[in-house]
Chains A and B, each alone.
Chain A
Amino acid sequence: MKTTKFKIASILLVVMTIGFSFTTLNKITVKGSDTMVILSQKWAEVYMQKNPGAIVQVTGGGSGVGIAALINGSTDIANSSRPMKASEVEKLKARYNTLGVEIPCAKDGLSVYLNKANGVSELTVKQIGLIFAGKITNWKEVGGVDAGIRLYGRESSSGTFVFFKDNVVKTDYSPSCQTLPGTAAIVNAVKKDKFAIGYGGAAYAEGVKDCKVKKDDKTPGVYPTAETIKNKTYPITRYLYMYLKSKPTGETKAFVDWILSPEGQKLIVSVGYFPVK
Chain B
Amino acid sequence: MKKIVLAVLLLGAFAAKAQEVKSDTIKTISIDSLKESIDDHSMKIEGYGERLSAIESDIAKLTKIKISGYAQVQYDMYDIWGAAGHGLVVANSNPPTVITNSFYIRRARVKFTYEALDGVKFVLCPDFAFDKVQLKDAYIVLNDRWLQTFSLTMGQFNRLNYEVEYSSSSREVLERTRMIQTLYPSERELGAKFEANFETKYQLPLKLQLAAFNGNFALGTTANQVRDIDNTKDIMARALYSVKLPSSGLGIDFGAHGYFGKTEILPGTTLTGFTNEDNVAFTPKVGDQLDRSWMGGEIQIYYDILGGAALKGEYISGTISGTTNAIQTNSNFNYNRIRDFNGFYTTFIKNIGTSHQFAVRYDVWDPNTKLSGNEVKTVGDLKYSTWSFAWQYFFDDNVKIVAGYTLPTNEKSTNVGVAGGEYNNRDKTDNVFSLRLQAKF
Q: A21-B353, A72-B397 are in contact. Are A99 and B246 (CB under 8 A)?
A: yes
Which residues of B in the span 118-158 have a Cβ within 8 Å of any Cβ on A? Answer: 118, 145
Q: How far, in Å, is A178 (CB) from chain B's closest CB?
A: 8
A20–B200 Cα gap in the complex (Å)? 36
Q: Is B304 an interface residue (CB 8 A)?
A: yes
A95–B167 Cα gap in the complex (Å)? 12
Are A246 and B397 in contact (CB-based, < 8 A)? no
Which residues of B in the span 341-364 have a Cβ within 8 Å of any Cβ on A? Answer: 349-356, 358
Q: A20-B356, A73-B397 are in contact. Are A93 and B249 (CB under 8 A)?
A: no
Are B145 and A246 in contact (CB-based, < 8 A)? no
- A-chain residues with CB within 8 Å of residue B351 when the two chains form the complex: 96-98
Are B118 and A172 in contact (CB-based, < 8 A)? yes
Nearest B residue (CB) for A22: B306
Nearest A residue (CB) for B117: A172
Are B358 and A101 in contact (CB-based, < 8 A)? no
- A-chain residues with CB within 8 Å of residue B354 when the two chains form the complex: 73, 245
Tell me which of B244, B246, B302, B349 has the highest count of chain A C-beta atoms within 10 A of its own C-beta: B302
A95–B357 Cα gap in the complex (Å)? 9
- A-chain residues with CB within 8 Å of residue B166 when the two chains form the complex: 94
Q: Is B170 an interface residue (CB 8 A)?
A: yes
Q: A17-B350, A21-B352, A171-B145 are in contact. Are A96 and B118 (CB under 8 A)?
A: no
- A-chain residues with CB within 8 Å of residue B307 when the two chains form the complex: 20-21, 96, 98, 246
Which residues of B in the span 373-429 have a Cβ within 8 Å of any Cβ on A? Answer: 394, 397-398
Are A97 and B302 in contact (CB-based, < 8 A)? yes
Partner pick for B251 among A72, A74, A93, CB 8 A cutoff = A93
A23–B167 Cα gap in the complex (Å)? 30
Are B353 and A95 in contact (CB-based, < 8 A)? no
Q: A102-B246, A172-B117, A172-B118 are in contact. Are A97 and B349 (CB under 8 A)?
A: yes
A16–B354 Cα gap in the complex (Å)? 13
Q: Is B310 an interface residue (CB 8 A)?
A: yes
Nearest B residue (CB) for A244: B304
Q: What sequence of 0s and 1s flags, for each residue 288-315 of chain B, a beta carbon within 8 Å of any chain A beta carbon?
A: 0000000000001011101111100000
Q: How far, in Å, is A45 (CB) from chain B's closest CB?
A: 26
A21–B357 Cα gap in the complex (Å)? 11
Q: Is A1 an interface residue (CB 8 A)?
A: no
Q: Is A247 an interface residue (CB 8 A)?
A: yes
Q: How far, in Å, is B402 (CB) from chain A's closest CB?
A: 14
Q: Is B32 an interface residue (CB 8 A)?
A: no
Q: What sequence of 0s and 1s flags, for each residue 8-20 of chain B, a beta carbon within 8 Å of any chain A beta carbon?
A: 0000000000000
Q: How far, in Å, is A158 (CB) from chain B's closest CB?
A: 14
Q: How far, in Å, is B310 (CB) from chain A's closest CB?
A: 4
Which residues of A in the span 1-28 have a Cβ within 8 Å of any Cβ on B? Answer: 13, 16-18, 20-23
Q: How far, in Å, is B435 (CB) from chain A's closest CB?
A: 19
Q: Is B199 an interface residue (CB 8 A)?
A: yes
- B-chain residues with CB within 8 Å of residue A13 when the two chains form the complex: 358
Q: What sequence of 0s and 1s flags, for each residue 144-174 of chain A, a beta carbon within 8 Å of any chain B beta carbon?
A: 0000000000001000000000000001100
Q: A13-B358, A74-B397, A171-B118 are in contact. Are A98 and B249 (CB under 8 A)?
A: yes
Are A86 and B304 in contact (CB-based, < 8 A)? no
A172–B64 Cα gap in the complex (Å)? 14
- B-chain residues with CB within 8 Å of residue A99 when the two chains form the complex: 244, 246, 249, 251, 302, 304
- A-chain residues with CB within 8 Å of residue B309 when the two chains form the complex: 97
Are A247 and B356 in contact (CB-based, < 8 A)? no
Q: What sequence of 0s and 1s flags, for each residue 61-85 of chain B, a beta carbon within 8 Å of any chain A beta carbon?
A: 0010000000000000000000000
Are A23 and B353 in contact (CB-based, < 8 A)? yes
Nearest B residue (CB) for A86: B199
- B-chain residues with CB within 8 Å of residue A20 when the two chains form the complex: 307, 352-353, 356
A245–B70 Cα gap in the complex (Å)? 24
Q: How far, in Å, is A214 (CB) from chain B's closest CB?
A: 24
Q: How far, in Å, is A112 (CB) from chain B's closest CB?
A: 22
Q: How far, in Å, is A227 (CB) from chain B's closest CB?
A: 28
Q: How far, in Å, is B156 (CB) from chain A's closest CB?
A: 22
- A-chain residues with CB within 8 Å of residue B304 when the two chains form the complex: 98-99, 101, 246-247
A93–B302 Cα gap in the complex (Å)? 8
A4–B310 Cα gap in the complex (Å)? 27
- B-chain residues with CB within 8 Å of residue A74 when the two chains form the complex: 397
Tell me which of A17, A72, A86, A94 has the highest count of chain B C-beta atoms within 10 A of its own C-beta: A17
Q: How far, in Å, is A9 (CB) from chain B's closest CB?
A: 10
A18–B352 Cα gap in the complex (Å)? 8
A171–B170 Cα gap in the complex (Å)? 32
Residues of A within 8 A of B (CB): 13, 16-18, 20-23, 72-74, 86, 93-99, 101-102, 156, 171-172, 245-247
Q: Return 20 A-B CB contacts under 8 Å, by A number.
A: A21-B306, A23-B353, A73-B355, A93-B302, A93-B310, A97-B302, A97-B303, A97-B349, A98-B249, A98-B302, A98-B307, A98-B351, A99-B246, A99-B249, A99-B304, A101-B246, A156-B63, A171-B118, A171-B145, A246-B307
Query: 3 shortest A-B CB distances, which residue pairs?
Result: A97-B308, A20-B353, A21-B306
Residues of B within 8 A of A (CB): 63, 117-118, 145, 166-167, 170, 199-200, 244, 246, 249, 251, 300, 302-304, 306-310, 349-356, 358, 394, 397-398
Other contacts beyond A21-B353, A171-B118: 8, CB < 8 A: A17-B358, A20-B352, A94-B167, A99-B249, A99-B302, A101-B246, A156-B63, A246-B308
